Amino acid sequence: MAKTPRSRNANNKVIQGKELDAYIKAELQAMVQEGLEKSPIQPATLHARLKAKGIIKGGVSTLTSRRDIINDYKLRQHNNHENGKRELTGKERAMLAQGRTGAAYISKADRLDSELQDYKARYERNVLAVTDIIEYVDSNLPINVEALLAEELIRELRTNGKRNRS
> How far apart, in Å, do the first and last CA atoms of the chain sit?
63
pLDDT of residue 146: 76
Domain boundaries, the chain: 17-87, 114-165
Rounded CA separation 11/43 (Å)? 27
> Across the strands, what pairs with 8?
14
pLDDT in single tens digits along all 166 residues of the chain: 444 445 666 666 777 888 889 989 999 999 988 887 788 888 899 999 988 888 888 888 888 888 889 988 888 887 765 555 567 777 887 887 787 888 888 888 898 899 899 999 999 999 899 888 888 888 888 877 777 777 777 787 777 766 655 5
Taking the model in full, what pTM does it have? 0.53
Rounded CA separation 105/82 (Å)? 13
Burial tier of 31 (Cβ tally within 10 Å: 0-12, 13-18, 19+): buried
